[in-house]
Amino acid sequence: MFNIETLRSKSVTELTKILKDLGVKVARNSNDNDKIFAVLDFQASNPKVAKDYFNATETSMDTEEKPADKPAKAPVRKAAPKRQPAKPKAEVTAPAEAKPQAEEKVEEKVPVAEEIKQEEPKTETVSTPEENNSAQSKKKRKRVVANTGNTEASQERAEAPKNAEQPQESAPSEEKPAASQPQARSQQKGHNNPQNSGNQNKNPNQHQNQNQGQNQNPNQHQNQNPNQNQHRQHADRNEEHHSEHRKEFSFDGMVSIEGVLEILPDNYGFLRSSDFSYISSPDDVYVSTAQIRNFGLKTGDTVKGIVRLPKEGEKYFSLLKPIEVNGRDLAFIKDRVAFEYLTPLFPEEKFNLAGDNSTMSTRIVDLFAPIGKGQRAMIVAQPKTGKTMLLKDIANSIAANHPEVYMMVLLIDERPEEVTDMERSVNAEVIASTFDEAADKHVKVANLVLAKAQRMVECGHDVVILLDSITRLARAYNTVTPASGKVLSGGVDANALHKPKRFFGAARKIEGGGSLTIIATALIDTGSKMDEVIFEEFKGTGNMELQLDRKIANRRIYPAIDLVSSSTRRDDLLLDEVTSQRMWIFRKYLAEMNPVEAMEFVNKNIRGTLNNEEFMMSMNK
């Protein structure tokens, strides 16, 4: 297995090759330590793959070292009469070839040792008997030193085959001392042998060194080619082996997301999730300024697109490319008309509240106060009159009979248990901001829901918003709006009601397709003067009004609707001619009764019929 000392002894090219073979990716500007630790991390996570690669490379090095010894022996035989001094040196240098850094040091210092050993037989052959007789004492001293060198050389010869015969699977830390010992001993010989050798031996030693330099080069070239071929084979195998793992964890271009765009003041935006009620969350997706400008995106656009994972130093996912916006292609989005410039009309298409999934409440509302596409409806209710239950019944009836409509339920300043009940019982998108949240969140959620509805209407969709309640929303706007100095009765700021009116006034039917229907509840008789002022401001803005009476609710008659006070403007556009005439007569009959008697009469007669047509036929009798 790889060790940190082994990897540090390798060159940059070898580290790069190991990383490439193992399929490990590092940054371009990474240093040697980064590459070493990248290999060690891969080895820790994939020990089997790293071990197979290490064994394969080491076995290839063993096969290459054996033929490398033979060409090193041949030139030594020609240059010197004795072959023994050249063998151990070639064998010592062979295991060092696995490490380029150790190889360079050995190659620089081994020729010095070989010069010394080759000088010794030269001195014996060149010297004459006269010279030996004249300098016996000096020769003897020098021979003692030479003998010590020979003993050291013999020790090295004995150690070198042992080192060469050791298996390559041993720890790399054991190979370093084996390579460093010949270096130290060769340095000692380099200091001792100049005393033994004279000036006469310089020329032949130079020739021998040149021959040795020539012999080393072809060995290196011969060893590189099979290494490269085998490394390529291992690299191909590793790439095939790791390609499967890469396919499993590559999510580029595969993850798509859908969210509502919110553009911040710095002209970049985020896709907010409805799971967090369009408040900032960790799942938000970053949208750049260039994408917003190029695709013509606005706040409230429902964007579906491909995202990429966050890069190093990034916190959020990023949008690569939008696929569709508000259910339409990107070409249509660039040429759409803004919501403010669309032509509003009276509602002409009625919601069928008496069809599938209908209740007594929805059947009565469908007769006395019909709701059309683009209606601006207000349910005026006292506390505990069943306005939330009525809103839930209307939502379920619209969802069952009009699947083409996109419906959103916006709960502002409501109780958390009612939010959960609405989410579980209504087939619609529920966006809530409970009473324990700040007024800033109420306002932010309401603005984003309105922007989303307007963007969908621009694209020709029919949208319904069920708001509970507009009184609490106006209170939140009054809290957030900076003081203008003009205060109305009840503590309402003069500028605070502009934005709630803008929210409620956005409901309209668009000429050429598309509609926005808002059904909002307003609270009265709460004991707060502010609620009375808010209701009076919204009283004449709606084109449909449904009054709930506390007296009827106290009699446990539901729905507690004041039939005489409830009506729809221009209901003749929503009802057919026959039904309109019958309702005109029926209303005239109920006008003589008080609200409790009228509701009891209608409730008793409508229960015995299956639908509203049968009920109207029974009224003629």
Domain ranges of the chain: 4-53, 255-336, 344-619
**Mean pLDDT across the stretch 307-336?**
89
Please answer whether residues 320 and 307 qualify as being in contact, where contact means their C-beta atoms are separated by less than 8 angstroms: yes
Give the residue numbers of the binding site.
Answer: 372-377, 384-389, 415
pLDDT, tens digit (0-9, with 9 covering 90-100), for 496-517: 999 999 999 999 999 988 999 9
Question: Which one is predicted more confidently, 31 or 155?
Answer: 31
For the annotated binding site for ATP, the residues are: 372-377, 384-389, 415
Express each pLDDT in 365-379 by its tens digit: 999 999 999 999 999
Report strand pairing: 376-381 vs 544-547: parallel
Could you tell me whether strands 317-325 and 302-308 are parallel, antiparallel, or unpaired per DSSP bridges?
antiparallel
| Helix, coil or strand: residue 132 | helix
Domains 255-336 and 344-619 share a fold: no
CATH class of 255-336: mainly beta
Backbone angles phi, psi at 376, to 5 degrees: -110, 90
User: Does residue 125 have a pLDDT over 80?
Assistant: no
Nearest C-alpha neighbor of 5 from the set 224, 156, 179: 179
Domain 344-619 = CATH 3.40.50.300: yes
Q: Which tens digit of pLDDT belongs to each residue from 150-203?
A: 444 444 444 444 444 444 444 444 444 444 444 444 444 444 444 444 444 444
Q: Convert the pLDDT of each residue in 247-271 to its tens digit.
A: 455 666 678 889 999 999 999 999 9
What is the three-state SS of 14-70?
Answer: HHHHHHHHHCCCCCCCCCHHHHHHHHHHHHHHCHHHHHHHHHHHHHHHHHHHHHHHH
Residue pLDDT, tens place only, 450-496 = 999 999 999 999 999 999 989 999 999 999 998 888 888 888 888 89
pLDDT at 58: 72
pLDDT at res. 68: 43
Q: Indicate if the pLDDT at residue 621 is higher than 80.
A: no
d(C-alpha 457, C-alpha 302), whole Å: 12
- Whose CA is closest to 469, among 506, 415, 510, 421? 415
Q: What is the pLDDT of residue 288?
A: 93
Residue-level pLDDT at 235: 62
Pick 290 or 148 by higher pLDDT: 290
Distance CA 148, CA 169 (A): 34
Q: How far from the centroid of its chain's Cα atoms is residue 38's Cα?
A: 23
**Eight-state DSSP code of residue 527:** S
> Which is higher by pLDDT, 393 or 76?
393
Stronger pLDDT, 11 or 102, i.e. the higher one: 11
Report pLDDT for 392. 94
Distance of CA 411 to CAs 155, 434, 454, 527, 545, Å?
92, 7, 18, 22, 20
- For residue 22, what pLDDT is reported? 84
Q: What are the φ and ψ backbone dihedral angles of 546, each rounded to 5 degrees? A: -125, 115
Q: Which two tokens stand for residue 45?
A: 């996570």
For the segment 312-333, the average pLDDT, to the nearest whole number, is 90
How confident is residue 69, by pLDDT bands cut at 50, 70 and 90?
very low
Rounded Cα gap, residues 450 and 414, in angstroms:
18
With a CB cutoff of 8 Å and minimum separation 6, the contacts of 63 are 226
Q: For residue range 35-45, list pLDDT tens digits in order.
A: 888 888 888 88
- pLDDT the model gives residue 514: 92
Take residue 569 and report the two structure tokens written for it.
Answer: 């403007």
Give the pLDDT of residue 51. Answer: 84
Residue 561 DSSP one-character state: B
pLDDT above 90 as % of the chain = 44
Give 108-122 pLDDT, tens digit per residue.
Answer: 444 444 444 444 444
- What backbone phi and psi angles, to 5 degrees, belong to 297? -85, 150
Asked whether 220 and 4 are in contact (CB, 8 A), the reply is no
